[in-house]
Amino acid sequence: MSGQSDEELIFAITQGDQVAFETLLNRHVDALYSYALRLGHSTTLADDLVQETWLTLWEKAHTFKPGKVRTSTWLHRILHNKFIDKTRKHTELLDNQAALGVHATTTPQSEYSTGVTLDELNKTLAKLPQNQRAALLLTHAQGFSNKEVATILGVGTRAAESLLARARLTLRNYFQSSREFK
């Protein structure tokens, strides 16, 4: 089962194959969780987003078009759309959590490897507007191309590039003005 491609697994999922589902889950769940956590700054929200994304995959696997987009792109797009839906309803909640500094549980091996702690990373990311943060995360943390980022965000490629450029500029300005990183 583990030797099968994502497309083969998704086809098996359309037939109700739970083993195929679990294999695909193990392949992509960490990346999705990482994105959800950094995007929303809340473990509860990340849990819900990731669970709902996989439930959607289980229910709508037949709508996946092999060859058109990669599985990881499709899954990130589902998650991102769910994030937008939820944040429309809970914008205030997210703002409050960001202001209070609600962060992910730190993983010891990931801390201090380059001198930037996870806490600092999250605080810095929280300073970016939502769409810029998404573009930056998808490019630098998730490793998507500009075209894939555009697909996930539901915008044109140029708009995605523009968001990324603005995110980098915002961060550069932040680092320039911040004493913490000097």
Partner 1 sequence: MKHPHENAFDRFLDELEEQRLPAPTYLRQRILTNLPAHGALNDWFGVFTWLQNSLWRGAVAMLIPVAIGFSVGTYIPQESQNYSVETLLYADNLEEFGDHEI
Nearer to partner 1, 92 or 115 (CB): 115
- CA distances to 5, 14, 150 from 66, in Å: 11, 13, 18
Q: Is there a contact between 23 and 2 (Cβ–Cβ < 8 Å)?
A: yes
3 touching partner 1, by CB under 8 A: no
Q: Is there a contact between 49 and 83 (Cβ–Cβ < 8 Å)?
A: yes
Nearer to partner 1, 140 or 158 (CB): 140
Q: Residue 19 CB, nearest distance to partner 1 (Å)?
A: 11
143 touching partner 1, by CB under 8 A: yes
Nearest-angstrom CA–CA distance, 110 and 116: 10
Interface residue with partner 1, options 18, 63, 91, 96 (CB under 8 A): 18
Q: Which of 105, 90, 99 is nearest to 43 (CA)?
A: 105
Q: Residue 52 CB, nearest distance to partner 1 (Å)?
A: 10
Interaction mask 96-125, partner 1, x per CB under 8 A: --------x--x--x--xxxx-x--x--x-
Q: Residue 50 CB, nearest distance to partner 1 (Å)?
A: 6
Nearest-angstrom CA–CA distance, 54 and 75: 8
How crowded is residue 46: how many other Cβ atoms within 10 Å of its Cβ? 22
Q: Is there a contact between 31 and 72 (Cβ–Cβ < 8 Å)?
A: yes
Total residues contacting partner 1 by CB under 8 A comes to: 44
Identify the helix (H) or strand (E) that includes residue 125: helix 118-126
151 touching partner 1, by CB under 8 A: no
Q: For the chain, what is the radius of gyration of the CA atoms?
A: 17
Nearer to partner 1, 5 or 178 (CB): 178
47 touching partner 1, by CB under 8 A: yes
Interface residue with partner 1, options 85, 119, 158, 175 (CB under 8 A): 175
Instruction: Give the footprint of partner 1 on this chain (CB under 8 A).
Output: 15-16, 18, 21-22, 25-26, 29-30, 32-34, 37-38, 47, 50-51, 54-55, 58-59, 104, 107, 110, 113-116, 118, 121, 124, 136-137, 140-141, 143, 168, 171-172, 175-176, 178, 181-182
